[in-house]
């Protein structure tokens, strides 16, 4: 499974502008464990899911909750990565 170290840092747009000093990058990886009910609540926050017709959304959420409960012992762990890019403006830019 790829880690944050496997993803290249991209600062081409900042570099080409010449308005900023070289960017500083920081990446933070973390995991969150969810119960089936908590993961269902999380999925309700995703705009793609919220756009589904109510019947289809409920069917999707029920199916995912059933899989979590029946195959994964009632809990799943989701990996996250947050990235911070900091670039100071060059004097006079």
* Structural domain containing residue 61: 35-88
Token readout for 87 is 């670039």
The answer to whether residue 63 is domain-embedded is yes
Q: How confident is the model at residue 74 (pLDDT cuts 50, 70, 90)?
A: very high
The answer to whether residue 41 is domain-embedded is yes
What confidence tens digit (pLDDT) does each residue in 9-38 have? 778 888 888 899 888 889 999 999 999 999
pTM recorded for the entire structure? 0.73
The answer to whether residue 30 is domain-embedded is no
For residue 21, give every residue at least 6 positions away whose Cβ sits within 8 Å of its Cβ, in sequence order, or none.
87, 88, 89, 90
Is 14 exposed, middle or buried, given 0-12, 13-18 or 19+ CB atoms closer than 10 A?
middle
Q: How many domains does the chain have?
A: 1
What confidence tens digit (pLDDT) does each residue in 36-69 have? 999 999 999 999 999 999 999 999 999 999 999 9
């Amino acid at each position: 499974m790829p880690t944050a170290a496997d993803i290249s840092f991209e600062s081409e747009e900042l570099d080409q502008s010449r308005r900023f000093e070289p960017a500083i990058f920081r990446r933070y990886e973390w995991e969150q464990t969810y119960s089936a009910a908590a993961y269902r609540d999380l999925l309700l926050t995703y705009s793609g899911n919220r756009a589904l017709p109510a019947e289809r959304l409920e069917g999707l959420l029920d199916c995912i909750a059933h899989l979590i409960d029946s195959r994964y012992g009632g809990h799943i762990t989701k990996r996250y990565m947050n990235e911070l890019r900091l670039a100071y403006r060059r004097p006079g830019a």
